[in-house]
Amino acid sequence: MLSGYWHFTPEVLVVCGAFAALFGGYLPGKDRGAAYAAAGAAALAAAIVAFGGTGGPIVFGQLEPDSVARYARTGLAGLTAVWVLWVAGRGMPGERRREGVALALFATAGGMLLSMAEDLIVMFVTLELATMPAYVLMGYRRKDVSGLKRALDYFVDSILASVIVLYGLSFLYGISGSTAFSGLELEGSGMLGFVAVMLTLVGLFAKVSAAPLRHWTLDANAKAAPVSLAFVSTVPRVAGIVVMSRLILAIAASAPAIGILVGVAAAASMIAGNCAALSQGDLRRLLICSGIAHLGYLMMALAAGTETGYGAAVFYAVAYAVPSMGVMLVVAEEGVAIGDFARLASRRPWVAWSMVLWLLSLIGIPPLAGFFGKLYLIGAALQAELMALVLLAILATLLSAAYYFRIVREMFFGDEDEQVGGAIEPSHAATVALALCAVATVAIGIGAPRLIAALGVRFG
Amino acid sequence: MAVGPSAFMGVAAVLFSLGLYGVLTRKNAVMVLMSLELMTVAACLNMVTVSRFVTPAEMTGQVFAVFAMAVFAAQIGIGLALVLAVYRQTGSIELSSKKAT
Amino acid sequence: MFAVELLILVPLVGAALCVGVGRLSARASRLASLGATIASAGVLAFLAAEGIFSGVALEGWRVARDTVPFWDLRIDGLSAPLLALTALTGLVAVLASWGEHNRSSVHHALLLGLQASVTGVFLAADVVLLYVFWEAVLIPMYFLIGIWGHENRRHAAMKFFIYTFAGSAFMLVGILMAVFGIGQTDISMLVSGRTALAQPSLVFWLIAIGMLVKLPAFPVHTWLPDAHVEAPTAGSILLAGVLLKMGGYGLLRLALPISPGSFAHAGIVFAVLGIVGIIYGAALALVQSDLKRLVALSSVSHMGFVLLAISAGTERGIAGAMLVMVSHGLVAPLLFLLVGQLYVRTHTREISRFAGLGVVTPRWGSALTFGALASLGLPGLSGFPGEFLSVIEAFGAWSWPMIPAMIGVVIAAAYNLRAVREVVHGPPAEEWRALRDLDAGDLVPVMLLVAAIVVLGVCPAIVLNMSGDAFATLAELIAGGV
* Cross-chain residue pair B74–A120, CB shorter than 8 Å: no
Query: pTM of the predicted model, to two decimals?
Result: 0.87
CA distance C200 to C181: 10
What are the beta bridge partners of residue A182?
none
Is residue A206 one of the residues assigned to a domain?
A: no
Amino acid letter at A71?
Y
A332-364: b (≥16 Cβ within 10 Å) or e: bbbebebebbbbbbebbeebbbbbbbbbbbbbb
Sign of CA dihedral C446, C447, C451, C457: positive
Q: What is the DSSP letter of B59?
A: -
Considering its fold, how many domains does chain A have in total? 1
* Cross-chain residue pair C183–A402, CB shorter than 8 Å: no
Q: Which residues of A touch C143 (CB under 8 A)?
A: 412
What are the residue boundaries of the structural domains of chain C, listed by start? 2-480
- Compare all CA atoms of chain A with the CA of B30 and give the residue at the minimum distance: A156
Q: What is the helix (H) or strand (E) element at residue A420, kind and residue range?
A: none
At B39 the pLDDT is 94
CA distance C352 to C294: 13
The 10s digit of each residue's pLDDT in A362-399 is 998 888 899 989 988 988 898 888 888 998 998 899 88
Mutate to test the interface with B, among A159, A160, A184, A218 (most CBs of B within 10 A): A159
* Cross-chain residue pair C176–A401, CB shorter than 8 Å: no
* Cross-chain residue pair A366–C170, CB shorter than 8 Å: no
Q: Which residues of B touch A193 (CB under 8 A)?
A: none
At A416 the pLDDT is 61
Q: What is the helix (H) or strand (E) element at residue C9, kind and residue range?
A: helix C2-22
Measured between CB atoms, which of B40, B78, B85 is closest to A166?
Answer: B40
What ipTM does the predicted assembly reach? 0.93
Rounded to a whole number of angstroms, the CA Rg of chain C reads 21
CA distance C284 to A161: 60
* Cross-chain residue pair A148–B85, CB shorter than 8 Å: yes
Is residue A138 one of the residues assigned to a domain?
A: no
Map out the domains of chain B with their CATH numbers.
Answer: 5-90 (1.10.287.3510)
At A78 the pLDDT is 93
Residue B78 forms contact with A (CB below 8 Å):
yes
Q: Which residues, including other chains, have CB under 8 Å from residue A436's CB and lie 6 or more apart?
A: A82, A85
The 10s digit of each residue's pLDDT in A409-434 is 888 877 665 555 566 777 888 899 99
Is residue A186 one of the residues assigned to a domain?
A: no
Measured between CB atoms, which of A371, A398, A413 is closest to C147?
Answer: A413
Lowest-confidence segment of A171-180, A219-228, A338-347, C283-292 by average pLDDT: A219-228
The 10s digit of each residue's pLDDT in C67-78 is 677 788 888 888
Q: What integer best gives the mean pLDDT of chain C?
A: 87
Q: Could you report the average pLDDT of every consecutive run of 10 residues in chain C (482 residues)?
A: 84 91 85 91 86 74 70 85 92 89 87 94 90 91 89 87 89 88 84 84 90 87 89 91 91 88 86 90 90 91 90 87 92 93 88 84 91 89 87 82 82 90 84 82 90 90 79 83 69
The 10s digit of each residue's pLDDT in A95-105 is 677 788 888 99
CA A268 to each of CA A292, A299, B15, C458: distance values in angstroms, whole numbers, following the listed order? 10, 10, 31, 61
How many residues appear in chain C? 482
CA B74 to each of CA A103, A125, A128, A294: distance values in angstroms, whole numbers, following the listed order? 14, 11, 10, 31
Is residue A298 one of the residues assigned to a domain?
A: yes
Measured between CB atoms, which of A378, A397, A413 is closest to C153?
Answer: A413
Give the HSE-up count for residue A71: Cα atoms under 13 Å, Cβ half-sphere.
26
To the nearest whole Å, the CA of A460 is away from the closest chain C CA by 4
* Cross-chain residue pair B83–A145, CB shorter than 8 Å: no
Domain that holds residue A286: 257-460
